[in-house]
Chains A and B, each alone.
Chain A
Amino acid sequence: MPPIGSPLYVLCLVAGIAFGAFFWLRQSRHDPALPLIYFGGLAFAFLGAKLAFLFAEGWLHLGHPDRWTIWLSGKSVMGALPGGWLGVEIVKKAIGYRAITGDRFALLIPVPLMLGRIGCLSAGCCGGIPCSFGNWPAVPVEIAFQITALSALIWMNHRGICRGQHFHLYLIGYGIFRALHEFLRSTPKPFLGLSGYQILALATVVAAWAAFRARRRAEASC
């Protein structure tokens, strides 16, 4: 039976959004374009999350009696990250904003995702496959990844390592982690033994790697 909704999940969701909004609204004191860019990222992250779910497994529930509930509530981080990235780039392009925002976004991502995973724990979803010691602890492993990523991002920010590339590096890191971790998660694998989330993770790695190289080339030519 699919998991049921949880009020704690909503609390975590709202807390994650409030965390990001607080940071961006503070930043907007110096730059009034930032709330629009943040909101573009947020809206497209939700859109991407929904589309990713529909691509990866939403279509498998076509004949399910509760399909509308499933379609309306399902979402995935693996679509939220590239979706949010696309949203930010679209808004920046539309308003002619040229400054780099990725480093600030990268620092903000792990905390809401950790909160989201705490929500997953309370809702009993996003679990792992059965193994010798019970079910694989997929959600705690994801939280551990986010803690590690946040520590690395803070360290890189503090030391000034790879400035302007932190978001790309985060996407590459999470994409690789997710593509491998997906083998241990109890998600449908309808694409030649791969899940839709794995395909999205690999596509995100490729796109982020291309963006990383493009920025590096642009900086070298300055």
Chain B
Amino acid sequence: MNEEPYLPPREPGEGPAGTASSCLWTLWIWFGPTLVVPFIFLFTAAVLPLGVLLSIGFLILMGSFSVGRKMGKEGTRAEAWRVLLYVVLQIVWIPLFSFAVLWGICAINGGMKI
């Protein structure tokens, strides 16, 4: 039995569902951190804990402004759970994707794809 989908409140600057601004917003939510987090690490390379702290803070902020509000009812466990899922998935995704891209772009020796 399917649950009725929760219709989310729109964020400021986000257009109606299906419009270009809505698509860009969704792309930014999911793939924006893939671009931003490596830059945070680049600029804080000398102070690694600061980079980690800033990155996680940024991801929590992105998560709570997007998946938390978009799909959960505010203040519920579901919202916090979704934000946590968002942060964990981004933490898994960003380094793995970054290394794959770095390997290809730099054409460094020694990689294997099976």
Nearest residue (CB) in A for B19 is: A29
Alpha-carbon separation in the docked complex, A7 to B107 (Å): 7
A2-B111, A57-B114 given; A73·B89 CB < 8 A: no
Contact residue range for chain B? 35 or more
Q: Main secondary structure on chain A at its contact with chain B?
A: helix
0/1 interface trace, chain B 75-114, chain A, CB 8 Å (1 if under): 0001001100110011011001101110111111111111
Q: How far is the CB of A69 from chain B (nearest CB, A)?
A: 4
Chain A residues contacting B110 (CB-CB under 8 Å) are 2, 4, 64, 66, 69-70, 73
A21-B31, A95-B78 given; A9·B1 CB < 8 A: no
Nearest residue (CB) in B for A97 is: B3
Nearest residue (CB) in A for B101 is: A10
0/1 interface trace, chain A 71-84, chain B, CB 8 Å (1 if under): 01111111000000
Interface residues of A (CB under 8 A from B): 1-7, 9-10, 13-14, 21, 25, 28-33, 35-36, 39-40, 42-44, 46-47, 49-50, 53, 56-57, 64, 66, 69-70, 72-78, 87, 91, 94-99, 116, 119-120, 123, 125-126, 187, 197
